[in-house]
Chains A and B, each alone.
Chain A
Amino acid sequence: MHPAVSIIFFTTASGAGYGLLVLLGWGVLVGHLGTQVGFGICAFGLALGLVGAGLLSSLGHLGHPERAWRALTQWRSSWLSREGVSAILTFLPALFLAWSWVVVGSVSSAAAALTILGAIVTTICTAMIYASLKPIRAWRNPWTVPIYLVLGLYTGALLTALLLHVYGMRGPFIGFMIAITGLAGAALKIGYWLFLDRGVAASTPESATGLGAIGKVRMLDPPHTESNYLLKEMGYRVARKHAKRLRLIVLALGFGMPILLTFLAHGVGPAMAIVLSLAAAVLGGLGVVVERWLFFAEARHTVTLYYGASHA
């Protein structure tokens, strides 16, 4: 599948934003964070900014962005529609929580709980857009939803740690959160890649053409000499050696280094801790961008079976 920049940015940015919202809501519920105004402005500004920028970016790949409001109507059947509705509804408790934190100075537990719920539901909806597509084995499997959730929480935790260091509120909890979500994310990705490499889709050139009774099916002549929408959108191929290298980059730079930097940041002075946690957040974010690029680039669509692919 073609890795569109707008969708990769949308899923990674909004994932991190929702992860940050979950942790802020959690901090309110357990009473760990207090209500420091500067921290509140930065944290909610960053979280809602990432979510908002992601949503705007997702409009960028539409043929008719001015009609985007129509996408809120079909929540009964469409995960894309559910995602839109859920994203907008989540803004309500999140904005109320931010207002009660920054302006009122007394946070609402109900708003925090609803923010956590909305952020998780929206991330699940995003993942289900992909996990519900039967023609794409790399997406329609039990790995997709947990990976979106855990990577959102992981990148959100890296941002939370950075903000805590900036405002001198360091504590052990967020470090453990980064380690747990980072290790879980790496384990999920390794499991997912094994799933990807060790199997093929149920559909074959034989089932796609129905000619399997005669024998093995091979493409003789393509229907057109030039490329078309189907091949540009769904015929994307990434070289196997590049994919292998990019997977290692995701594991080492996206998960390994940020976890290491997070622990190092706990043993150094405040200024150095900010630098290290900033590096961790940047590396983790870039790692998830590479991970998301691979999520698209490695995914094969059954339509390619009509264009000479031996498996999907």
Chain B
Amino acid sequence: MTSLPTTSGTKKLGLVIDLDICVGCHACAVNCKEWNTSGHSAPLTDLDPYGKDVDGVWFNRVHSFEAGDHECGRTVHFPRSCLHCETPDCVTVCPTGASYKRAEDGIVLVNPDTCIGCKLCSWACPYGAREFDETDGVMKKCTLCIDRIYNETMEEVDRVPACVSTCPVSARHFGDLGDPESDVSKLVAAREGYDLMPELGYKPTNKYLPPRMPKRQSAPALMPSEEVAAKGFLAWLDRMLSR
């Protein structure tokens, strides 16, 4: 059923991504591909993998942006994946019921057995979270590693999404964002985590933590300029030497 669940519980599983410490190593994207190509939505098909026009399905893509200018400018590495929105149009536009949001934990999934491959859900997602698998003829997307997080054959410490388990700098956190007392919710509150494109009203579950801003009061950690205004004797000397 592609109507959104009306009896959804309070549990909202999702990710918190810390843009302050992401180093843009792409390990999360690679481990996502590695796990999921044999996981719930397997395979993540690659087309022409060793040829000229490499293409393939990935659930996680790491962009790099520049924000701001001069001393205040930052390079920000920006992992982008499904945000498991509270009101996702990718679910409601689906004509077959293949695209659905789970009432029990809010995870958005695609049933590969009923998807007709019309691609409308990928048009309805503003974030580009869905990628069509030409070989399978169905849409694929992040499953929040549903085959890891509930997997009782794994050690409890490993029951997190592959992207979270592999991040070398702990820039990715997984938990219940519907519980205000959870570690992820406290982190979002403390660091003023935010939604992407809130103006579209999809209410993403995943949150992003902003880069910490440099302290403006202290002197910038830069080489001093040669054009320092001199005072007193040095100013007189400067005038003399400038004649």
Residues of A within 8 A of B (CB): 1, 61-65, 67-68, 70-74, 76-81, 84, 129, 132-136, 202-203, 205, 207-224, 226-230, 233-234, 301-303, 306-307
Contact of B132 with A by CB under 8 A: yes
Given contact pairs A64-B137, A303-B126, A216 touches B67 in the complex (Cβ within 8 A): yes
Known contacts A207-B198, A223-B29: A302-B211 contact under CB 8 Å: no
Is B166 part of the binding interface, using a Cβ–Cβ cutoff of 8 Å?
no
Q: Give the complex CA separation of A230 and B133 in angstroms.
A: 11
B63 touches A217 (CB 8 A): no
- Do A306 and B128 touch (CB < 8 A)? yes
Beta-carbon contact of A135 and B137 below 8 Å: no
Q: Which of chain B's residues has its CB closest to A83's CB? A: B95
Residues of B within 8 A of A205 (CB): 65
Q: Given the complex, which residues of A lie within 8 Å of B26, measured CB to CB?
A: 223
Is B198 in contact with A81, judged by CB distance below 8 angstroms?
Answer: no
Which chain A residue has the least Cβ–Cβ distance from B122? A233
Give which listed residue, A71, A217, A233, contacts B118 with CB less than 8 A: A71
Nearest chain B residue, comparing its CB with the CB of A224: B61
Q: Which residues of B contact A302 (CB under 8 A)?
A: 126-127, 197, 200
> Which of A64, A136, A216, A301 is in CB contact (< 8 Å) with B69?
A216
Nearest CB of B to A310, in Å: 12
Q: Are B128 and A67 in contact (CB under 8 A)?
A: no
Task: Identify B123's interface contact among A73, A136, A215, A228, CB under 8 A.
Answer: A136
Residue in B3, B56, B126, B198 whose beta carbon sits within 8 Å of that of A135 in the complex: B126
A–B Cβ pairs within 8 angstroms, 23 of them:
A64-B116, A71-B95, A71-B96, A71-B116, A76-B3, A78-B120, A80-B95, A84-B95, A133-B123, A134-B200, A135-B200, A210-B195, A215-B73, A216-B67, A217-B67, A219-B66, A220-B65, A223-B61, A228-B131, A229-B132, A233-B119, A303-B126, A307-B63
Contacts of A215 in B (CB 8 A): 67-69, 72-73
Chain A residues lying within 8 Å of B62, measured Cβ to Cβ, are 223
CB contact between B131 and one of A76, A79, A213, A230 (< 8 Å): that residue: A230
Whole-angstrom CA separation of A210 from B200 in the bound complex: 13
The range of chain B's interface size is 35 or more
A233 to B134, CA, bound (A): 12
Q: Please give, as numbers and ranges, the residues of chain A lying within 8 Å of B55 by CB-CB distance.
A: 226-229
**Contact: B196 with A210, CB < 8 Å?**
yes
* A234 surroundings in chain B (CB, below 8 A): 122-123, 128
User: When A and B form their complex, which 9 residue pairs have the shortest distance between CB atoms, in order from nearest?
Assistant: A63-B117, A215-B68, A63-B137, A303-B128, A71-B95, A81-B95, A221-B64, A70-B96, A135-B126
A218 touches B92 (CB 8 A): no
Interface window among B35-43, B75-83, B143-151, B215-223:
B75-83
Distance in angstroms between the alpha carbons of A253 and B102 in the assembled complex: 51
Q: Closest CB-CB distance, B165 to chain A, in whole Å?
A: 20
